């Protein structure tokens, strides 16, 4: 169980791992930036969130959560699915801290407020939790699926709260059939940055790209719950994580020197998430990349910058990477922590040809995620040779980097002949759930073995 009594916000620290030495004429600088938020009682009385969140009396929960439950007709097949969804939502409600604002939304081809109703949020207490669970009994399945409408309702409800942490939990069992993918895209664009959202697919009739797309756009997690019986435990975990968040809307600010180009900025742990295209300019030569909300956790980012060549013997600051927290009054955002990425040109080949182990590791993890995606795509399109090659490469990378969870998932889709060389055979029969699990979790990474 997470420690819900924790009232202080986290301290951020930044560590940079890189080989700063470039050969003569070298221009590409790679660095892994590890951001760690440690909070709770150890922050030494340096409140971070108090700056901008007026409601945040110390110790009072400063969060609002909306649970979106798929109630489309397909949820009755099998009937256990609806029952499990109801129970899972009840378990999530039980996990709410007292004082947290919350609501439950039923989603079909339209969205309906289940609790409390009236376009507002309830405040969690023993009484409201009981009423909410009572309201869940009235959930009936029937109708289609238009996830965008659910998200828009959640957005309206969350906007009625001034809580710093605004989070959604979304459960679906089917494809988004009753609105265009453009509509969903537009909704995600509109909601991005307004709240974060975890997305879950239950059963095997949903579209992996839709669920991961929602989580990616809204900076939450995505996963499959193939067996509806596992929903309650998963919902409890998700809510615990949400309750553990202590500061929201944290941005990763990357400054680069004149003439430099940011090649990419990716989150690489705990999952691969390319943030490059999500930059918003933040003053001269700086841009912010969204990271969402943080509890006690650590994430790694891979920053790649192309700098102008400065010549052997020179040293340059290739990037300054900072965690920033916006201040609502329009003042300059607060810098929570920062690290420096350097470039040093040397004629010492022994120095410049070293590849930093962290950079190498995460370059491999990103390739692993890509290889799985390409392999599964090839398999779906009937390109068995391509699928074998890509999934073989994935097996090799997972084995070499010690990503055992992914290796196990791969072993359900291919027969591994030799993991070291990446020799595999495609399985003739693959359970749909196994393939979807692999696809959904393809972006999960492991950290460097210390």
Partner 1 sequence: MAVTGPSRCPGCGEPLESGDNFCGVCGADLSGTADGNAAAGDHPTLALTPQGAPRTAPGDGVPGGAYGGPGAGLPDEAYRAAPPPAPETRLPDAGVPADPRETLAVPTCVACRTGAVDQDGYCERCGHAQPRERDHFERALTRVAAVSDRGYRHHRNEDFFAVADTTLVDGSPAVLAVVCDGVSSATRPDDASRAAAETAAEALVTALPREPQPQQAMHDAIVAAAKAVDALAAAPDGPQEHDPYRRQNAPACTLVAAVAAGGVLTVGWIGDSRVYWIPDDRTAPGARLTEDDSWAAQMVANNLMTEAEAYADERAHAITGWLGADAYELQPHTKAFRPDRPGVVVVCTDGLWNYTEAADELAAVLPLDAGERPLDGARTLVHHALDSGGHDNVTVAVVPFPAPVRGAGSA
Note the residues at the interface with partner 1 (CB under 8 A): 15-21, 256-260, 284-285, 307, 310, 312-318, 339-340, 344-348, 350-351, 354, 356-358
Q: How far is the CB of 359 from partner 1 (least distance, A)?
A: 10
| DSSP category for residue 78 | S
For partner 1, the closer CB: 186 or 286:
286
Q: How far, in Å, CA of 280 to CA of 259, rounded? A: 18
Q: CA 321 to CA 17: how far, in whole Å?
A: 12
Quick one: which of 286, 269, 288 has its CA closest to 278? 288
Give the DSSP letter of residue 41: G
Q: Minimum CB separation from partner 1 for residue 16, in Å?
A: 6
Task: Indicate the residue among 350 and 428 with the shorter CB distance to partner 1.
Answer: 350
Give the ranges where 69-146 is alpha helix by DSSP (H): 80-95, 126-136
The DSSP 8-state label assigned to residue 413 in this structure reads: T
Integer Cα distance of 387 and 404 in angstroms = 21
**Shorter beta-carbon distance to partner 1: residue 42 or 353:** 353
For partner 1, give the closer residue by CB, 23 or 47: 23
Nearest approach in angstroms of CB 19 to partner 1 is 6
For residue 271, the minimal CB distance to partner 1 (Å) is: 24
Asked whether 403 and 365 are in contact (CB, 8 A), the reply is yes
Contact partners, residue 413, CB within 8 Å, separation at least 6: 376, 391, 426, 427, 430, 434, 435, 438
SS3 content of the chain, % helix, strand, coil (to 5): 35, 30, 35
For residue 217, the minimal CB distance to partner 1 (Å) is 33
Q: Where are the alpha helices (H) located in 276-403, listed in sequence order?
A: 349-352, 357-380, 384-401
Residue 352: CB minimum distance to partner 1, A: 10
CA–CA distance, 265 with 301 (Å, rounded to integer):
7
Query: C-beta of 447: minimal distance to partner 1 in Å?
Result: 15
Which of 1, 350 has the CB closer to partner 1? 350
Q: Which is nearer to partner 1, 237 or 334 (CB)?
A: 334
When the beta carbons of 196 and 356 are compared against partner 1, the nearer one is: 356
- In the bound state with partner 1, the residue whose beta carbon lies nearer, of 312 and 389, is 312
Residue linked to tokens 């996830």? 147
- What is the distance, to the nearest Å, from the Cα of residue 403 to the centroid of all Cα atoms in its chain? 18
**In whole angstroms, how close is the CB of 315 to partner 1 at the nearest point?**
4
Q: Tell the residue number behind the tokens 């930036």, with chain if given.
A: 33
Both tokens of 433, joined, read 């759930």
C-beta closer to partner 1: residue 320 or 370: 320
CB of 321 to partner 1, least distance (A): 12
Q: Between β-strands 261-269 and 273-274, what pairing exists: parallel, antiparallel or unpaired?
A: antiparallel
């Amino acid at each position: 169980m997470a420690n819900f009594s924790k009232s202080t916000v986290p301290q951020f620290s930044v560590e940079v791992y890189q080989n700063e030495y470039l050969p003569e004429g070298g221009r590409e600088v790679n660095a892994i930036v590890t951001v760690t938020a440690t909070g709770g009682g150890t922050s030494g009385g340096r409140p971070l969130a108090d700056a901008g969140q007026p409601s945040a009396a110390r110790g009072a929960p400063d969060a609002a959560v909306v649970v979106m439950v798929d109630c489309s007709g397909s949820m009755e097949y099998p009937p256990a699915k609806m029952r499990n969804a109801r129970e899972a939502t009840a378990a999530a409600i039980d996990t709410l801290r007292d004082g947290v604002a919350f609501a439950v939304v039923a989603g079909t081809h339209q969205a309906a407020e289940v609790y409390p109703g009236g376009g507002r949020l309830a405040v969690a207490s023993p009484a409201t939790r009981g009423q909410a669970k009572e309201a869940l009994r009235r959930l009936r399945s029937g109708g289609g699926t238009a996830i965008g409408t659910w998200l828009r309702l959640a957005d309206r409800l969350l906007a009625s709260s001034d809580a710093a942490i605004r989070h959604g939990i979304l459960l679906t069992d089917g494809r988004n059939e009753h609105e265009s993918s453009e509509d969903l895209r537009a909704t995600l664009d509109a909601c991005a940055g307004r709240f974060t959202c975890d997305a879950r697919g239950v059963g095997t009739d949903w579209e992996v790209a839709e669920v991961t797309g929602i989580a990616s756009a809204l900076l939450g997690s995505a996963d499959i719950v193939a067996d509806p019986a596992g929903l309650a435990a998963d919902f409890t975990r998700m809510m615990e994580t949400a309750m553990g968040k202590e500061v929201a809307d944290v941005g990763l600010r990357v400054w680069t020197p004149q003439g430099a180009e940011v090649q990419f900025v990716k989150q690489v742990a705990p999952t691969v998430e390319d943030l490059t295209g999500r930059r918003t300019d933040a003053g001269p030569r700086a841009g912010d990349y969204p990271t969402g909300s943080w509890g006690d956790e650590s994430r790694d980012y891979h920053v790649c910058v192309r700098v102008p060549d400065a010549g052997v013997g020179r040293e340059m600051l290739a990037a300054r990477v900072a965690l920033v927290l916006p201040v609502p009054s329009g003042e300059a955002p607060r810098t929570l922590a920062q690290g420096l990425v350097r470039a040093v040109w040397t004629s010492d080949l022994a120095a410049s040809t070293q590849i930093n182990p962290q950079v190498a590791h995460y370059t491999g993890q990103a390739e692993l995620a890509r290889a799985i995606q390409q392999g599964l795509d090839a398999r779906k399109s009937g390109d068995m040779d391509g699928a074998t090659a890509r999934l073989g490469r994935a097996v090799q990378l997972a084995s070499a980097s010690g990503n055992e969870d992914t290796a196990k998932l791969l072993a359900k889709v291919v027969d591994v002949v030799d993991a070291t060389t990446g020799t595999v055979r495609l399985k003739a029969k693959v359970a749909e759930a196994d393939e979807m699990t692999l696809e959904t979790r393809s972006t999960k990474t492991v950290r460097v073995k210390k």
